[in-house]
Chains A and B, each alone.
Chain A
Amino acid sequence: MKYVDEFRNPAAGKKLVARIREQVAALGRTAADPIKIMEVCGGHTHSIFKFGLEEMLPDAIELVHGPGCPVCVLPVGRVDDAVFLAEQPGVIFATYGDAIRVPGSQKSLLQAKAEGADIRTVYSPTDALALAKSNPDRDVVFFGLGFETTVPSTALTLLQAEAEGVTNFFVFSNHITIVPTIRAILDAPDLSIDGFVGPGHVTMVIGTEPYRFIADTYQKPFVVSGFEPLDVLQSIVMLLEQMQAGEARVENQYRRLVAHDGNATAQGAMAEVFELREHFEWRGLGSIEESGLRLRDRFAHLDAERRFLVPALAVEDPKACQCGDVLKGTIKPWECKVFGTACTPETPIGACMVSSEGACAAYYNYGRLSTLPVLATSGA
Chain B
Amino acid sequence: MCLGIPGRIVSIEDEAKKLGVVDVGGVRRVTNLACVLQGQAPSELVGEWVLVHVGFAMSRIDPREAQRTLELLAEMGEVQEELEAMRRSGAEAGTGAAS
User: Are A and B a genuine interacting pair, yes or no?
Assistant: yes
Binding site for B on A (CB under 8 A): 1-4, 6-7, 11-12, 15-16, 18-19, 22, 41-43, 46, 69-70, 96-98, 123-127, 145-147, 149-150, 152-153, 156, 201, 204-205, 226-227, 230-231, 234, 237, 253, 255-259, 263, 265-266, 269, 356-357
Is there contact, CB below 8 Å, between B62 and A255?
A: yes
Looking at B32, B56, B63, the one whose CB has the most chain A CB atoms below 10 A away is B56
What residue of chain B has the Cβ atom nearest to residue A258's Cβ?
B59
Cβ contacts under 8 Å, B68 to chain A: 255
Q: B72 at the A/B interface (Cβ < 8 Å)?
A: yes
Is there contact, CB below 8 Å, between B53 and A201?
A: yes
Is there contact, CB below 8 Å, between B51 and A96?
A: no
Cβ contacts under 8 Å, B72 to chain A: 234
Cβ contacts under 8 Å, A69 to chain B: 2
Looking at B1, B2, B73, B76, the one whose CB has the most chain A CB atoms below 10 A away is B2
Is there contact, CB below 8 Å, between B56 and A153?
A: yes
Is there contact, CB below 8 Å, between A1 and B6?
A: yes
Closest-CB distance, B6 to chain A (whole angstroms): 5
Is there contact, CB below 8 Å, between B76 and A256?
A: no
Compute how far the CA of A46 lies from the CA of B4 in the bound complex, rounded to whole angstroms.
13
Compute how far the CA of A230 lies from the CA of B75 in the bound complex, rounded to whole angstroms.
13
Is there contact, CB below 8 Å, between A123 and B55?
A: yes
Is there contact, CB below 8 Å, between B54 and A124?
A: yes
Is there contact, CB below 8 Å, between A253 and B59?
A: no
Residues of B in contact (CB 8 Å), total: 39
What residue of chain B has the Cβ atom nearest to residue A266's Cβ?
B35
Is there contact, CB below 8 Å, between A2 and B49?
A: yes
- Cβ contact of A201, chosen from B2, B38, B70, B80, cutoff 8 A: B2
Compute how far the CA of A22 lies from the CA of B37 in the bound complex, rounded to whole angstroms.
44
Closest-CB distance, A216 to chain B (whole angstroms): 25
Q: B34 at the A/B interface (Cβ < 8 Å)?
A: yes
User: Known contacts being A3-B49, A12-B77, A234-B69, is A43 close to B58, with CB within 8 Å?
Assistant: no
User: Known contacts being A15-B81, A123-B54, A156-B34, is A234 close to B25, with CB within 8 Å?
Assistant: no
Cβ contacts under 8 Å, B73 to chain A: 12, 16, 230, 234
Chain B 34-51 interface residues, beta-carbon cutoff 8 Å to A = 34-38, 49, 51
What residue of chain B has the Cβ atom nearest to residue A201's Cβ?
B4
Q: B15 at the A/B interface (Cβ < 8 Å)?
A: no
Compute how far the CA of A153 lies from the CA of B33 in the bound complex, rounded to whole angstroms.
11
Is there contact, CB below 8 Å, between A127 and B53?
A: no
Cβ contacts under 8 Å, B85 to chain A: none
Is there contact, CB below 8 Å, between A237 and B54?
A: no
Q: B3 at the A/B interface (Cβ < 8 Å)?
A: yes
- Cβ contact of A149, chosen from B2, B65, B79, B83, cutoff 8 A: B2
Is there contact, CB below 8 Å, between B77 and A257?
A: no
Is there contact, CB below 8 Å, between B55 and A127?
A: yes
User: Known contacts being A12-B73, A234-B73, is A149 close to B53, with CB within 8 Å?
Assistant: yes
Closest-CB distance, B14 to chain A (whole angstroms): 12
User: Known contacts being A15-B77, A150-B2, is A257 close to B51, with CB within 8 Å?
Assistant: yes
Is there contact, CB below 8 Å, between A125 and B55?
A: yes
Q: B61 at the A/B interface (Cβ < 8 Å)?
A: yes
Is there contact, CB below 8 Å, between B6 and A4?
A: yes
Closest-CB distance, B81 to chain A (whole angstroms): 7
Is there contact, CB below 8 Å, between B35 and A263?
A: yes
Is there contact, CB below 8 Å, between B35 and A152?
A: yes
> Can you name 10 A-B residue pairings with CB atoms under 8 Å?
A7-B70, A16-B77, A127-B55, A152-B58, A153-B53, A156-B56, A204-B58, A255-B62, A256-B66, A263-B58
Compute how far the CA of A269 lies from the CA of B34 in the bound complex, rounded to whole angstroms.
10
Cβ contacts under 8 Å, A41 to chain B: 2
Other than the given A153-B32, A201-B53, 12 more pairs (CB < 8 A) read A11-B77, A12-B77, A15-B81, A41-B2, A124-B56, A149-B2, A152-B35, A156-B35, A156-B56, A227-B4, A257-B59, A263-B58
Looking at A6, A153, A256, A257, the one whose CB has the most chain B CB atoms below 10 A away is A256
Is there contact, CB below 8 Å, between B66 and A6?
A: yes
What residue of chain B has the Cβ atom nearest to residue A71's Cβ?
B1
Closest-CB distance, B88 to chain A (whole angstroms): 13
- Cβ contact of A266, chosen from B8, B54, B58, B65, cutoff 8 A: B58
Looking at A46, A127, A150, A231, the one whose CB has the most chain B CB atoms below 10 A away is A150
Cβ contacts under 8 Å, B35 to chain A: 152, 156, 263, 265-266, 269
User: Known contacts being A1-B25, A201-B4, is A125 close to B59, with CB within 8 Å?
Assistant: no
